[in-house]
Amino acid sequence: MTYSIQQWNLECVFESATLCSKMSEYAARNISHTDFILSGFSGSREWKQLLFIPFFLLFVMSVTANSMIIFIILSHRALHSPMYLLICVMAFVDLVIPIFFVPNMLLNLLFNWNHISLMGCLVQMFCILFFQTVQTTILLWMALDRFYAICTPLHYNEHMRFSAFLKFVIILLLRNAVFISAIVGLARSLSYCQSNEIKHCFCEHMALVTLACGPIYVNSVVGLCAAFFTLAADVLFIVFSYVRIFVSLFKSGRPSQKALSTCITHIIVMFVGLIFALTSFLSYRIKNDMSSNSHMTISTMYLLLPACLNPIIYGIRTKEIRQQVIKVMKCGKKSP
């Protein structure tokens, strides 16, 4: 009789534990985190503070170089042609993208300030993704600018007038905004009950949605579709435009050195961004043994390094901009 009572007590305890466990699981599934921690780079505090130095220098370099390009182009009427204005817009995009995430990342490295709300995370994600697509859209319009100037010079002014440019830009910007809004909206609809620790130094799309409880198949498919119909589509049109340009130049028998130099400059800028974009995109979608620090470094360099290199590439390879940069630097040295 005593054995039966003890067995009954044990069974009650076991059933209670099972019930509590099920209730805990149910509660966890119905709780969605609204506050997240950006874990950032792993390592000791001293190591993180050491990382602060190169990222801070890159950020200052990006802000300074792009601000100088914008100032030089806007302050000189001789540089107000469509090609230089597009370079100015590209410099503006390269200026704002790091501003969306680098200051927070630097504060995280230096002071361990790593909290971010879900809404703040989604806003940061939208801004970064949207301006990334704007970059390729600008590169596409640069390619079309060169195509019209070289292949159809008699109709250049007609194609590049402001009204035609505005129609083209609005259509592509709306396309970009629709796809990015879909990505962010789907991420907002997920329930984040697994963890509130984002293993990244900013709100990267895949780093966030992998914390969701339910399936993220739709998010992945929409992300791939957005990448194809925005970034990949623009790149394909850019490649097609430059193929037509080079065919036209070499058919003429006497290709213009200036035209070749300008096209090569745009191609260099495009491939710098494309290499980092593909590496960052594939690193999250291909199963490998890459560490989280490596993922973060690739993603961060994809956003930050082109913003530093693009103004240097344009400043060195574009004669008119280079001359104005030298004048500004000489004036700066002469002033007391």
Whether residue 120 is predicted with pLDDT greater than 70 in this model: the reply is yes
SS3 call for 291: coil
Output 125 or 193, whichever has higher pLDDT: 125
Band (pLDDT 50/70/90 cuts) for residue 175 is very high
Instruction: Report the C-alpha gap between 21 and 29 in whole angstroms.
Output: 12
The torsion defined by the Cα of 43, 191, 277 and 45, in degrees rounded to 10, comes to -10
Q: Count of residues for the chain?
A: 336
175-191 core/surface letters (b: 16 or more CB in 10 A; e: else): bbeebbebbbebbeebe
pLDDT of residue 41: 85
pLDDT of residue 13: 46
| Mean pLDDT computed over every residue of the chain | 82
Which has the closest alpha carbon to 103: 67, 52, 66, 61?
52
pLDDT of residue 35: 92
Whether residue 256 is predicted with pLDDT greater than 80 in this model: the reply is no
pLDDT of residue 24: 44
Question: How are strands ordered across the β-sheet holding 115-117?
Answer: 115-117, 35-38, 197-198
Q: What is the pLDDT of residues 58-71, one digit of tens each?
A: 999 999 999 999 99
SS3 call for 172: helix
pLDDT of residue 82: 86
In this structure, the number of other CB atoms found within 10 A of the CB of residue 223 comes to: 23
pLDDT of residue 134: 93
pLDDT of residue 7: 52
Contact predicate 257/126, CB 8 Å:
no
Q: Is the pTM of this model over 0.85?
A: no
Whether residue 89 is predicted with pLDDT greater than 90 in this model: the reply is yes
Instruction: Report the C-alpha gap between 61 and 14 in whole angstroms.
Output: 63
Whether residue 196 is predicted with pLDDT greater than 70 in this model: the reply is yes
Instruction: Report the C-alpha gap between 287 and 54 in whole angstroms.
Output: 29
Whether residue 301 is predicted with pLDDT greater than 50 in this model: the reply is yes
Whether residue 8 is predicted with pLDDT greater than 60 in this model: the reply is no
Segment 142-149 shows an average pLDDT of 87
Which has the closest alpha carbon to 131: 95, 162, 168, 104?
95
Instruction: List alpha helices for 76-190, DSSP H.
Output: 82-111, 118-151, 156-159, 162-189
- Tell me what percent of the residues of the chain surpass a pLDDT of 90: 30
The torsion defined by the Cα of 162, 167, 173 and 177, in degrees rounded to 10, comes to 140
Q: What is the pLDDT of residues 35-88, one digit of tens each?
A: 999 988 887 888 888 989 999 999 999 999 999 999 999 998 888 888 888 899
**CB hemisphere CA count around 114 (13 angstroms):** 18
Crossing angle between the packed helical segments 82-111 and 45-75, to the nearest 10 degrees: 160
Q: What is the CA radius of gyration of the chain?
A: 26
Instruction: Report the C-alpha gap between 91 and 311 in whole angstroms.
Output: 7
Instruction: Report the C-alpha gap between 167 and 176 in whole angstroms.
Output: 14
Contact predicate 331/89, CB 8 Å:
no
- Kindly give, in sequence order, each residue whose CB lies less than 8 Å from that of residue 301, ignoring residues fewer than 6 positions away: 276
In angstroms, what CA-CA distances link 302 with 14, 188, 226, 275, 278?
53, 25, 18, 8, 9
Instruction: Report the C-alpha gap between 238 and 110 in whole angstroms.
Output: 41
- Kindly give, in sequence order, each residue whose CB lies less than 8 Å from that of residue 328, ignoring residues fewer than 6 positions away: 68, 71, 72
pLDDT of residue 127: 95
- Tell me what percent of the residues of the chain surpass a pLDDT of 70: 84
pLDDT of residue 122: 96
